[in-house]
Amino acid sequence: MKKYRVTLTAEERESLGTLVATGKAAAKKLIHARILLKADQADSGPAWTDQQIAEALDVSVATIERVRQRFVEQGLEPALVRKKPDKPSRERKLDGAGEARLIALACSKVPTGRVAWTLEMLADKLVELKVVDSICPETVRQALQKTRSSRG
């Protein structure tokens, strides 16, 4: 006996069938819809085993179990779409204030003996000014590019 048993209503079955038939959605969403349709254990549902679904749709059994669980615990829409992360995988090095300091620094007078600021010099200066603990030149480049501002 499955811990998370999928039983679709006629309305849910119809909406999933329409979604799959039109094929106008993200690939992952369509696969999840197919999983739910095949796993449906209502009176008129096919009630395929997880192994049968995995072989037919070329997905892992773990994926099928996760889709089943999300459907039972959270409903139809969360089972179809990917879960948003609670927090980003990596915290931003430069917040708005840090970016403002970077732009001000990039627009400031160049150190003596230099023609222009380099990304490495800007990164080192941000650490020296204790804006950040550490930062790589690529992060500085991306922040400056995002602002679309001229450094001169």
Residue 126 neighbours by CB under 8 Å, 6+ apart: 98, 101, 102, 105, 132, 135, 140
Q: Tens digit of pLDDT for each residue in 103-116?
A: 999 999 999 999 99
On whether the pTM is more than 0.85, the answer is no
Residue 71 banded pLDDT, cuts 50, 70, 90: very high
Cβ(146)–Cβ(139) under 8 Å?
no
Predicted local distance difference test score (pLDDT) of residue 1: 53
**pLDDT tens for residues 20-67?**
999 999 999 999 999 999 999 887 778 899 999 999 999 999 999 999
Q: Which of 74, 1, 5 minimizes the C-alpha distance to 39?
A: 5
Kindly write down the DSSP assignment for every residue of 10-37, as one continuous string: HHHHHHHHHHHHH--S-HHHHHHHHHHH
